[in-house]
Amino acid sequence: MIDLSTRYLGLELASPLVASAGPLTGRLETLARLEDAGAAAVVLPSLFEEEIVEASREVHRVLEAGTESFPEALTYLPEPPSYDTPPDRTLRLVAEAKAALRIPVIASLNGSSRGGWIRYAGELADAGADALELNVYHVAADVETSSADVEARYLDLVTAVRDAVDIPVAVKIPPFFTSTAHTAMVLVKAGADGLVLFNRFYQPDIDLETLEVRHSLDLSTRASLRLPLRWIAILYGRIDASLAASGGVHTSRDVAKVLLAGADVAMSTSALLLRGPELLTELRDGLVAWMEEHDYDSVAQLRGSVSQRAVPDPEAFERASYVRIIRRYTDEWVL
Ligand SMILES: Cc1cc2nc3c(=O)[nH]c(=O)nc-3n(C[C@H](O)[C@H](O)[C@H](O)COP(=O)(O)O)c2cc1C
């Protein structure tokens, strides 16, 4: 009997299969399907601070409408309508998902102001989330902002949220730091219980007919897996935190790879959108079959066995691999 259990953010999970934030985790009906198909935990779609600010402006605008036109309107209080704002919806989803599911529910927050991060992190925790994922989406486009400034901002944010909530906190980071390994270590020292590698930054394109900038959302392919695979292999055993692979997990072989590299869990959004929640059953069965074939009894046994933990100098290792691969390619083409 293969033991698929794993630990993520201090939570005991039945398997390493986690449905990451996306449309399927935003509705109770699909959350239940994800659980039935084998998700060991779910990450709800992020609560975006901009949406909250926008919604509260709208509520304010509606309540204020007409108060300037007629003096008597200043004392007139309309029947308060029920506003279903993004924070209400997300907080309700957290509570309802907790009540409906047996698996851990991880809430996700994308703040923009320091106060917003702290306040909404607290609200999501109070709503019953088992853990919190900080979806930090920051494109450092200001020429005056240095990489040290960006890292300091991340550090400040993690420290502040860590102080504000008692539940485990994961940080979903981008792959674009000058020194990813150092930043990861600093965030863990600041209190992050886990890192999600990586956040996917959507990249704009240009429409050559209309000359407009096109913002399209492309789902990932298996090729995206290489990025989390490398960094998980590097970080495994070097930082004291859970590691989640996000980006390009489409098949059970991809799950096996990220676990071998050292991930505690494999997250998936695009593949589940393409193939439906039931893909999770296929991922679990395929993982079990692969483990049986390769004589692994448990996820714990296989985790990190192809990491860079035993590599004394990962920088030299990466460079040597680069030189070797370029040489081999060139030699093959010359012949
Ligand atoms: C339609 C869509 C919506 C997403 N919404 C969120 C979100 O609300 N918060 C978040 O942190 N990530 C979000 N993501 C990113 C995914 O959680 C995931 O990190 C990313 O898609 C890479 O994983 P994948 O290759 O399995 O898709 C979204 C992705 C997609 C495709």
CA 35 to ligand 1 center in whole angstroms: 18
Residue 227 within a domain? yes
- Whether 16 lines ligand 1, by a CB cut-off of 6 Å, is no
295: left (phi over 0), alpha (psi -120 to 50) or beta: left
Instruction: Check residue 333 and give its pLDDT.
Output: 74
How far, in Å, CA of 278 to CA of 33, rounded? Answer: 7
Structural domain boundaries, residue 74: 6-304
Q: What is the pLDDT of residues 244-279, one digit of tens each?
A: 999 999 999 999 999 999 999 999 999 999 999 999
Q: How many independent structural domains does the chain possess?
A: 1
Q: What is the pLDDT of residues 64-114, one digit of tens each?
A: 555 555 555 555 555 555 556 778 899 999 999 999 999 999 999 998 889
Which uninterrupted H or E stretch holds 223?
none
Torsion, Cα 10 12 18 20, to 10 degrees, reads: -30
> Alpha carbon of 141 to those of 49, 138, 144, 146, 147: distances in Å?
20, 9, 9, 10, 11
Beta-carbon contacts of residue 273 (< 8 Å; ≥ 6 apart): 22, 23, 24, 219
Instruction: Check residue 197 and give its pLDDT.
Output: 98
Instruction: Check residue 63 and give its pLDDT.
Output: 46
CA 88 to ligand 1 center in whole angstroms: 21
- Residue 73: CB atoms within 10 A of its CB come to 14
- Whether 268 lines ligand 1, by a CB cut-off of 6 Å, is yes
Residue 126 within a domain? yes
CA 269 to ligand 1 center in whole angstroms: 6
CA 82 to ligand 1 center in whole angstroms: 30
How far, in Å, CA of 176 to CA of 169, rounded? Answer: 21
Contact 280, 38 (CB under 8 A): yes
| Residue nearest atom 24 in ligand 1 by C-alpha distance | 247
Counting ligand 1 atoms within 8 A of each CB, the residue from 50, 269, 270 with the most, and so the one to mutate, is 269
Residue 331 within a domain? no
CA 237 to ligand 1 center in whole angstroms: 26
CA 102 to ligand 1 center in whole angstroms: 23
The pTM (predicted TM-score) of the whole model is 0.90
CATH for 279? 3.20.20.70
How far, in Å, CA of 23 to CA of 102, rounded? Answer: 20
> Which one-letter amino acid corresponds to residue 317?
F
- Whether 219 lines ligand 1, by a CB cut-off of 6 Å, is yes
Supply φ then ψ for residue 184, to 5 degrees: -60, -45
- Whether 228 lines ligand 1, by a CB cut-off of 6 Å, is no
Helix axes 28-37, 86-100, angle to 10 degrees: 40
Residue 312 within a domain? no
How far, in Å, CA of 86 to CA of 221, rounded? Answer: 30
| Cα separation of the two ends of the chain | 50
Residue 48 within a domain? yes
- Cβ density class 31-69: b for 16+ within 10 Å, e for less: bebbbebbbbbbbbbbbbbebbeebeeeeeeeeeeeeee
Residue 266 within a domain? yes
Residue 334 within a domain? no
How far, in Å, CA of 97 to CA of 29, rounded? Answer: 10
Instruction: Check residue 203 and give its pLDDT.
Output: 83
Residue 278 within a domain? yes
Low-confidence ranges of the chain (pLDDT < 70): 52-84, 334-335
Q: In 3D, which of 221, 329, 244 has the Cα closest to residue 6?
A: 244
